[in-house]
Amino acid sequence: MSSEPSSSNQLPNQPTDINAARKFAVPNRLAGKVAIVTGASSGIGQAIAIRLAAEGAKVVIDYIGRAEGAEDTSQAIAQAGGTATIVQADVTKLEDIEKLVAETYNRFGRGDILVNNAGVEKGADFWEVTEADYDLVMNVNLKGAFFLSQAFVRRLIAAKQPGRIINISSVHEDMVFPHFASYAASKGGLRMLMRNLAVELGPHNIAVNNVAPGAIITPINKSLLDNKQQLQALLNNIPLGRMGTSAEVAGLVAYLASEEAGYVTGSTFILDGGLIRNYHEQ
């Protein structure tokens, strides 16, 4: 999916750029915590895993297809002085979800923070969308977050431990995305899932929030980044006039994972350069 350079060949804005992860990291803010990050072998998930580790969390790097990407994440975390382990688990499969949580407890003895980041999108005119593409998008983006959250909180509730769930949603949990109907539907579902869980899990001291990125420089946007005309049209819609970086998303996630955010639950935090509020004068 991506042609990212490895951590030995750093470019600015790469998710494995440990300097970007360290720049605003609050040392030890997440010390003693264990975080699971799904889809942590590339893009936003990779940057989140590295940032949480740079703040002292032990991180479980979940991936499905890109073992070398997971290794890059793990190496960047080691370079930043952090601790991580890699688990291959497909979030669309309940047995893999069980394995991911069990491995987290086997290797680190606890689980405090879950970042449901794994996501896919498939563009097509609505009338052309196949069942296979629909199933893939809904299963990764919504079913995965649903059942992994369930497996994660079962342990917390049984042990009477607090926890945090942070879903990486999208501006498209609220804003239309023509030609990406399944993606917008999955993210809209993630928005209501977050709100529902915030209410159900609040009494168990488990907070649930969404981070909704706009256009971020990541592999999911590769075809857009390669198409100058399409890219310019997008930039024209972003009041800040640029795409965001995965490090910027990771910074917000680190805050939501921290004790400082202890009273925050049931909210979506938009990080989009103003895209969702955009209006052009007629």
Least separation in angstroms between CB 125 and ligand BGC: 16
Among 61-69, 128-136, 167-175, 225-233, the segment contacting ligand BGC (CB under 6 A):
167-175
Question: Using the rule CB under 6 A, is 141 a contact of ligand BGC?
Answer: no
Least separation in angstroms between CB 172 and ligand BGC: 5
Question: Using the rule CB under 6 A, is 172 a contact of ligand BGC?
Answer: yes
Closest CA to 72 of 219, 205, 211: 219
Q: Is 24 within 8 Å of 52 (Cβ atoms)?
A: no
269: helix, coil or strand? strand
**Window 1 to 60, contacts with ligand BGC (CB under 6 A):** none
Q: Is 23 within 8 Å of 29 (Cβ atoms)?
A: no
Least separation in angstroms between CB 134 and ligand BGC: 17
Q: Residue 59 forms beta bridges with which residues?
A: 35, 84
For ligand BGC, the closer CB: 96 or 121: 121
Question: Using the rule CB under 6 A, is 145 a contact of ligand BGC?
Answer: no
Q: Can you read off the two tokens belonging to residue 139? A: 């299963």
Among 121, 250, 257, 265, binds ligand BGC (CB under 6 A): 121
The C-alpha atoms of residue 223 and residue 169 are separated, in whole angstroms, by: 20
Closest CA to 15 of 262, 245, 272: 245
Task: Give, in order, the Cα–Cα distances in Å from 282 to each of 78, 279.
Answer: 52, 9
- The site for ligand BGC, by CB under 6 A, has a size of 9
∠ CA 176-165-159, nearest 5°, is: 155
Least separation in angstroms between CB 268 and ligand BGC: 13
Instruction: Classify burial at 105, counting beta carbons within 10 Å of its beta carbon; exposed 0-12, middle 13-18, buried 19 or more.
Output: middle
For ligand BGC, the closer CB: 102 or 225: 225
Closest CA to 235 of 209, 253, 219, 215: 215
Among 39, 214, 219, 273, binds ligand BGC (CB under 6 A): 214
Among 100, 153, 171, 211, binds ligand BGC (CB under 6 A): 171
The C-alpha atoms of residue 272 and residue 277 are separated, in whole angstroms, by: 9
Among 40-48, 153-161, 194-202, 219-227, the segment contacting ligand BGC (CB under 6 A):
219-227
Among 41, 73, 170, 210, binds ligand BGC (CB under 6 A): 170
Q: Which residues bind ligand BGC (CB under 6 A)?
A: 121, 170-172, 214-215, 220-221, 224
